[in-house]
Structure 1
Amino acid sequence: MILKGAFFIITAILLVFVLVIGVMGKPPLPTVMAGKYEISVMQGPYCWKNLTNVACVSSPLTSIYDIGLRSAPVEVKSGERIYINVKGEKMFSVDQWISRYVVQQPEWNGSDIIAPDEPGIYIYHIHAEWEEGSGGFTFAIRVVQSAPVLITGKIVELVNCKGIKRFL
């Protein structure tokens, strides 16, 4: 009777262990912030291993650029810093996709990039590597012109890119 109970408990613990390990089968999503706003990051292709299996997953879309077009771009000001945090990685890199076939290196210092000066939609790809594998992630931004500040007397007038005026 005691032997059956011990067998049941050990089997249950092993089953939970296998299920928990099996669920943790993909890389953690990076955190991307522009100012106080978080930018949505889409999971791309990855390979990930744990104690019970190895999984390699590809994207049904044909290019990183296409993946980026499916995400809603977050508005950022030209020249704004975009902070990228990839948890526990050994290394990561960032590319800026101009089109399906044109890629360039953005201005960055290893943890943040600078939004381009020209207004438009920009797609970025993060490639990261961990002990458990590697993964790709994509996000999109829409660059808008920074609001100029005109000082006239004691009234400060802000004009945004849509021509709407605010007074402080």
Structure 2
Amino acid sequence: MSGLRRKVLWIVVIGLLVVGGILYATSFWKSGTSVKPPLPTVRVGTVTAEVKQSTYCWSDGGEAVCEDHGLPEADDLQLVPVEAGAEIDVEFHAEPSNASFHQLVDGELVPAEPVVPDEPGVYVFETGGDWPQGDSRYVFGVEVKE
């Protein structure tokens, strides 16, 4: 093999490795961000609350991702003003098994009914469940004005 052919062969091999590496990195980056459970819609009375993703393990198309989130502070959430005693309606993408609903009280999750308390204040809630793709928890906050 002549020197020129050897150089061309090496350039082709290196080019293929570079292109393959870029394609692999791009597909890994895209897939890492696409495996996430869909957010539910939460209506509190006539207002829609902003929902944040919390802890989850989710699989889709042979890929699985788990993320662990600590319990949020009220300052971490977009609080919506609501009426005292308003009903909370959580609409998931599909009905979960083992659905749960909690209120965050003094840093602890306490089982609760999906109703805003009657007293003025800031309230943080956590909800979620299990689906065939995995389990997921979601958080949102509301404020009852004086």
TM > 0.5:
yes
**What does 1:23-38 correspond to in 2, within 5 Å?**
24-38=34-48
Identify the residue that residue 121 of structure 2 maps to in structure 1.
Answer: 120
Letter in 2 for 1:98: V
Identify the residue that residue 142 of structure 1 maps to in structure 2.
Answer: 143
Unaligned runs of 5+ in 1: 1-17, 108-112, 145-160, 162-168
Residues 16-36 of structure 1, C-alpha deviation per residue, up to 9 Å, x if partnerless? xx89x9464111101001233
- The answer on 1:103 being equivalent to 2:113 is no
Identify the residue that residue 79 of structure 1 maps to in structure 2.
Answer: 85
Number of matched pairs: 117
Give the CA deviation at 1:135.
0.9
Q: CA RMSD in A?
A: 2.1
Give the Cα separation in 2 of the matches to 1:43 and 1:24: 14
Paired-residue identity, %: 27
Identify the residue that residue 151 of structure 1 maps to in structure 2.
Answer: none
| Larger helix share, 1 or 2 | 2
Q: With the length of structure 2 as denominator, give the TM-score of the two structures.
A: 0.71
Give the CA deviation at 1:40.
0.1
Letter in 2 for 1:139: F
Could you say if the C-alpha distance between residues 94 and 69 of structure 1 is closer, same or farther in structure 2, counting changes exceeding 3 Å?
farther
Letter in 1 for 2:121: G
**Stretches of 4+ aligned residues off by more than 4 angstroms:** none
User: Larger relative contact order (C-alpha < 8 A, sep ≥ 6)?
Assistant: 2
Which SS does the other structure have where 1:64 is aligned? coil
1:86–1:128 CA contact under 8 A, matched in 2: no
**What does 1:1-168 correspond to in 2, within 5 Å?**
22=31, 24-59=34-69, 63-66=70-73, 68-91=74-97, 92-100=99-107, 102-107=108-113, 113-144=114-145, 161=146
Letter in 1 for 2:57: C
Which SS does the other structure have where 2:128 is aligned? strand
Give the Cα separation in 2 of the matches to 1:55 and 1:36: 34
